[in-house]
């Protein structure tokens, strides 16, 4: 089984420089995807780290460098809350990016989180991925964050989808240690199918997890982001100096 490699890590001076480099790479990947296939299919990350990246993409010079009408936006995971809930990942994405760029509304694909169950929502989102991206659902770019326990998206240590992958493209998550506890997540299968994966890691609090994740003898079931690597594509870890202090 492959595992994270230090050769895939780029260390940036600080959180702002990391966001700027992530924006630069996002635009470059988008332009290349649009050039090659006429579209750019990206899954945004949740949590707080991507917020500054979103703000940069929504402003000059980056916003004007991209034909947003060619972009389709998905999500790596979602909290099972209404889309206007302060905890919602799609709400954060709309506030910091999607409401500020000319992306057609029908090209944003939030997880369904109202009037359904987590399991039915996961099945519905998998159908959406397959209908828009084909089978297998290959995204051009998946952005991911990482928690201090090594979780990524909503793949948490010791959880069923991590210890015994379902083989589905999307999974429902219960009793997540990071509130809100009920979530939806892309699975390892979908993440690994992507053409490019970018993991964004910032802050001293993430340093210990990175140390474990880049050691050869640790297990992805304890450090789930360790199980992230592309089947055929590329992976880049953008890490600021505080988080990289143990590498
Ligand atoms: C979520 C995220 C989660 C996040 C990490 C890092 O919905 O919470 O998908 O995986 O990326 O927990 O969160 P921060 O960026 O806030 O540190």
Atom of ligand 1 nearest to the CA of 45: 9
Q: What is the pLDDT of residues 28-65, one digit of tens each?
A: 999 999 999 999 999 999 999 999 999 999 999 999 99
Q: How many other CB atoms are there within 10 angstroms of residue 243's CB atom?
A: 26
Atom of ligand 1 nearest to the CA of 151: 10
Task: State which of 48, 113, 147 you would mutate to test the pocket of ligand 1, scoring each by most atoms of that ligand within 8 A of its C-beta.
Answer: 147
Alpha carbon nearest to ligand 1 atom 7, residue: 46
d(CA 144, ligand 1 centre) in Å: 8
pLDDT classification of 218: cutoffs 50, 70, 90: confident
Alpha carbon nearest to ligand 1 atom 4, residue: 47
pLDDT for 164: 97
Q: How far apart are CA 18 and CA 50, in angstroms?
A: 10
Residue 44 tokens, joined: 């945004």
Q: What is the pLDDT of residues 124-161, one digit of tens each?
A: 999 999 999 999 999 999 999 999 999 999 999 999 99
d(CA 78, ligand 1 centre) in Å: 10
Q: What is the pLDDT of residues 64-118, one digit of tens each?
A: 999 999 999 999 999 999 999 999 999 999 999 999 999 999 999 999 999 999 9
pLDDT for 20: 98
Task: State which of 45, 75, 185 you would mutate to test the pocket of ligand 1, scoring each by most atoms of that ligand within 8 A of its C-beta.
Answer: 45
Atom of ligand 1 nearest to the CA of 79: 7
pLDDT for 2: 81
Task: Quote the percentage of the chain above a pLDDT of 90.
Answer: 97
Atom of ligand 1 nearest to the CA of 78: 7
Q: Is the pLDDT reported for residue 1 higher than 70?
A: no
Buried b or exposed e, range 2-41, using 16+ CB within 10 angstroms: ebbeeeebebbeebeebbbbbbebbbebbeebbeeeebbb
Q: How far apart are CA 97 and CA 21, in angstroms?
A: 17
pLDDT for 216: 81
Q: What is the pLDDT of residues 159-180, one digit of tens each?
A: 999 999 999 999 999 999 999 9
Task: Point out which residues pair with 171 in neighbouring strands.
Answer: 185
For 233, phi and psi rounded to 5 degrees? -100, -145
pLDDT for 196: 98
Kindly list the protein residues whose Cβ atom lies closer than 6 A to any atom of ligand 1. 45-49, 76-77, 79, 89, 145-147, 151-153, 178
Q: How far apart are CA 193 and CA 231, in angstroms?
A: 6
Q: Look at residues 144, 159, 133, 164 and name the one whose alpha carbon lies nearest to residue 222.
A: 159
């Amino acid at each position: 089984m492959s595992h994270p490699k230090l050769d895939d890590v780029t260390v940036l001076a600080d959180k702002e420089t990391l966001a700027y480099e992530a924006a630069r790479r996002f635009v470059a990947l988008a332009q290349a995807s649009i050039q090659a296939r006429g579209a750019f299919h990206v899954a945004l990350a949740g949590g707080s780290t991507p917020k500054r990246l979103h703000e940069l993409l929504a402003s000059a010079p980056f916003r004007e460098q991209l034909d947003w009408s060619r972009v389709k936006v998905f999500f790596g995971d979602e909290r099972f809350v209404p889309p206007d809930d302060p905890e919602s990942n799609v709400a954060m994405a709309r506030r910091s990016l999607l409401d500020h760029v000319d992306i057609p509304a029908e090209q944003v694909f939030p997880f369904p989180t109202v009037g359904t169950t987590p399991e039915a929502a996961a099945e519905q989102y998998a159908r959406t991925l397959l209908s828009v991206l084909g089978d297998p659902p290959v995204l051009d770019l998946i952005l991911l964050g990482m928690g201090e326990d090594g979780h990524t998206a909503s793949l948490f240590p010791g959880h069923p989808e991590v210890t015994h992958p379902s083989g589905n493209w999307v999974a429902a998550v219960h009793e997540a240690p990071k509130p809100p506890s009920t979530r939806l997540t892309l699975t390892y299968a979908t993440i690994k199918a992507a053409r490019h994966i970018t993991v964004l890691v910032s802050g001293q609090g993430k340093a210990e997890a990175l140390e474990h994740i880049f050691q050869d003898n640790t297990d992805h079931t304890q450090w789930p982001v360790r199980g992230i690597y592309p089947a055929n594509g590329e992976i880049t870890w953008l890490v600021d100096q505080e988080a990289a202090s143990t590498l």
